[in-house]
Structure 1
Amino acid sequence: MPRILIAPDSFKESLTATQVCRAIAEGLQTINPKLQIDQLPFSDGGEGAFELFEALNLGSTIACDAQDPLGRSISASYYGFEDGKTAWIELSQASGIALLKDAEKNPMLTSTFGTGLQLKHALENGFKNILLGIGGSATNDVATGIFTALGGKLLDHAENAIQARGEHLGTVAGLDFDHLIPELESAQLTVACDVSNLLLGATGAATIYAPQKGATPAQVTALEKGAEHLAQIIQQKTGRTITSIAGGGAAGGTAAGMYGFFNSKLEPGFELLSKLANLEERVKQADLIITGEGKTDNQSQYGKVPFKLAELARKHNKPLYLFAGSVQADQNVLTAAGITKAIAIKTETMALEYAKTNAFELLKNAVAHHLKTQL
């Protein structure tokens, strides 16, 4: 009996990765109820990793007091692994753009302080190996919020403490590391990062991502100058150059800041999660692999789950089918990636809202229709 691995990302604004797994599985079972199905809701290291950990039963979620991007008190969760030493913190839980109304989005005013409070809670509760997933941020503060939540201080020319947020990056004259929490000394901080954007420049944090977070053109310029200034201050204090780190521009410069303040490692999120899930071995054991995401376009080839999974499928000579809300990628891009076939569940005449609302049934039916001859 064929063994099938289902390993999709979420369909944003429509289905979680777990729901995508279930829809695909139900579609397969209408073809043959005896198929061996391995469901693995996946993530590229941004939002959604909790689902993977819970599917694998690796530990449990832990709630703690935190702040949203504008400093309002909230409760936010992170994931503690069974070893009691490793924790996964998802930046979007406390510093995510989804926590704000449209009118509140402004990276001049937002901060990663709440994520820093989560790190503090995890470190003070014995977790020494911290993995930080940084997708979906509302911020452009270069991790200054995290730094101050962990006891660091941003100082102005009069050595007064400055609040950490985007608009203050350019006024930082000094950094105080003296009061960082002691648990940091024995901790290993790793940032899960799948983009290659640098902190500054035409593909940098401010230019590419700040407009999506509510920044005006003038604010983009200010954030760029502020990040450049802070980078100089960090280099003077620590000797670390944060402007040349591939991926440093991710999450409003959070990746660059984590390296600059704490000498954190940056690792591809997909690779980190693949190791935790023993993904390559699952691919080897499968006869057919099915993946999915909300929209597949030519940008998907740069680190998105279906294309990273396709690399493994191609390596082990396994067929891989991709189901997506829409498929806008060139066929040669799909073929080169090792994707056997890419299928859109939304037709050209179908309204987008209808497709989002009915995504589960559309996906289930598409799987049953397109794979019946393969199984």
Structure 2
Amino acid sequence: MKIVIAPDSFKGSLTAKQVSQSIQKGFKQVFPDAKYVLVPMADGGEGTVQSLVDATNGKLKELEVVGPLGNKVKAKYGILGDGITGVIEMAEASGIGYVNKDTKNPLITTTYGTGELIKACIDSGVKKIIIGIGGSATNDGGAGMAEALGVKFLDSKGKDIPRGGGGLSQLAKIDISGVDPKVYQTEIIIASDVTNPLCGKTGASYVFGPQKGATPEMILTLDANLRHYADLIKKQLGKDVADVPGTGAAGGLGAGLLVFTNSKMQKGIDIVVDYVKLVNELKDADLCITGEGGIDYQTQYGKAPFGVAQAAKKANPKLPVVAIAGTLGKDIEALYEKGFDAIFGTIEEVAQLEDIIAKAEESLVRTSINVARALKIKL
């Protein structure tokens, strides 16, 4: 019997690899002779770097870069097992975790550090970069990222404009002459499920600005600045990105990547499923197990377990798919029509969150044993 174990992380407690190993540990006590294939997963958000590095036997690297507030931070990125693909989470360099209620300010936060990670990957010789762009603290349209790659953003006097969403109001000229040709020769895949445009009431500033500290007055300023930015991009570079779906992701980083790099957008979970060749592993499997920290009706909107379930049914419509999650949320019944055959939770008793996290591995192993015993009745 072949069992494919392909979960996302249990955020805050276990990586996807640790979750895979814990499920295997439990199942082995019931099915000791089964063949187990562990495929750590992610959906393009937090944990994507670690999951893809683990799944491909790649290498995790660390670099000191400019954080969203201009101070130095340490950010991780990965070089996958093929040696020619880099993987980045923009939140590692420019994420909301680097600011707090007193310091978050999208008028000044910058994506410069994300650009430094891209440059580090390119300088290492990769031919492709996968970049997850969720969880940003920024609203600069990716200008900081582009600056790190050699683009100059100048005011009417030919001086560099200030970094951040506020500085874009001073932009008069965009100079791309200093960009290394290798930037355009490197394929960049943007992992994002966001479909918001760069500008307008459904754009980056209005929809995502408040969670980054934008007041109603700031939102008006930021949106006007991104509109000005987009107008100059169209006039000077011939690219129209103001209303393109997805360009509003990560405070407009989606737009910046599409304009200043050789990039395209794709759903995060689809990227991971393709890259780890999950469908191939599932074709001759007898059981697929997936999961993540929390599962509810929203799981069907691009989360890793949903992607795994879809891949399983693509490989074999009759392949049983079992999900194991830390918590089970609202309306999980909807998932039974989306490729899931059974869904189990691991929390056994009411407890403080820190105690639940501390016992996450123990609870996951115990639940896996129970799930395996239930399946053995039929299998």
Residue 125 to residue 354, structure 1, CA distance change in 2 (3 Å): closer
- Contact 1:295 1:327 survives alignment (8 Å): yes
How far apart in 2 are the matches of 1:351 and 1:106?
33
- Write the distance in 1 (CA, Å) between the matches of 2:222 and 2:81: 40
Go from structure 1 to structure 2 and tell me whether the alpha carbon gap of 1:266 and 1:294 turns closer, same or farther (over 3 Å shift).
Answer: same
The CA RMSD measured in Å over matched residues stands at 2.3
Query: Which residue is 1:218 aligned to?
Result: 217
Name the structure 2 match of 1:356. Answer: 357
Match of 2:19, SS state, is: helix
Counterpart-to-counterpart distance in 2, 1:338 and 1:82: 30
Q: Does 1:260 align with 2:259?
A: yes
Equivalent residue number for residue 344 of structure 2: 343
Shift in Å, 1:114: 0.8
Aligned to 1:275: 274
CA 1:291 to 1:229, structure 2 compared with 1: closer, same or farther past 3 Å? same
> Is 2:7–2:20's contact at 8 Å kept on the other side of the alignment?
yes
Partner of 2:2: 3
What's 1:123 paired with? 122
1:351 to 1:82, Cα distance in 2 relative to 1, 3 A: closer
Q: 1:180 aligned to 2:167?
A: no
- Deviation per CA, 1:219-273, whole angstroms, max 9, x where unpaired? 3333223222222221222222223333222222211221122352112222222
| Counterpart residue type for residue 303 of structure 2 | K
Cα pair 2:273 2:307 within 8 Å, conserved: no
- Give the 3-state SS of the residue equivalent to 1:264 in structure 2: strand
The equivalent residue for 1:66 is 65
Describe the shift of the 1:283–1:246 C-alpha distance in structure 2 as closer, same or farther (beyond 3 A): farther
State whether structure 2 residue 92 is matched by structure 1 residue 96: no
Residue matched to 2:162? 163
Judging changes above 3 Å, is the alpha-carbon distance between structure 1 residues 26 and 212 closer, same or farther for their aligned structure 2 residues? farther
Opposite residue 61 of structure 2, the aligned amino acid is I
**Aligned pair count?**
374
Q: Does residue 47 of structure 2 align to residue 14 of structure 1?
A: no
Change (3 A) 1:325 1:213: farther
Distance 1:273 1:362, change over 3 A: same
Gaps of 5+ in 1: none
Contact 1:42/1:51 (8 A) holds in 2: no
Distance 1:217 1:322 in 2: 42
Q: Contact 1:148 / 1:164 at 8 angstroms: preserved in 2?
A: no
1:92 is paired with a residue whose SS is: helix
- Which of 17-26 and 198-207 deviates more? 198-207
Report SS of the residue matched to 1:136: coil
Distance in 1 of aligned mates of 2:67 and 2:105: 13
Gaps in structure 2 of 5+ consecutive residues: none
User: Deviation of residue 280 (structure 1)?
Assistant: 0.6
* Distance change (3 Å), C-alpha of 1:31 and 1:201: farther
Tell me how far apart the structure 1 counterparts of residues 205 and 293 of structure 2 sit (CA, whole Å). Answer: 25
| C-alpha spacing 1:255/1:359, structure 2 compared with 1 (3 Å) | same
Question: In the alignment, what sits opposite 2:244?
Answer: 245
Matches within 5 A, 1:124-139: 124-139=123-138
Distance 1:198 1:328, change over 3 A: farther
Paired with 2:49 and 2:71, the residues of 1 have a C-alpha distance of 24
State TM-score, norm by structure 1: 0.90
SS of the residue 2:324 aligns to: strand
In structure 2, give the amino acid aligned to 1:152.
V
Identity of aligned residues (%): 37
| Equivalent pair of 1:112/1:144 in contact (CA under 8 Å) | yes
Structure 1 window deviating more from structure 2 (271-280 vs 329-338): it is: 329-338
CA distance in 2, matches of 1:159, 1:374: 69
Q: Distance in 2 between matches of 1:221 and 1:68?
A: 25
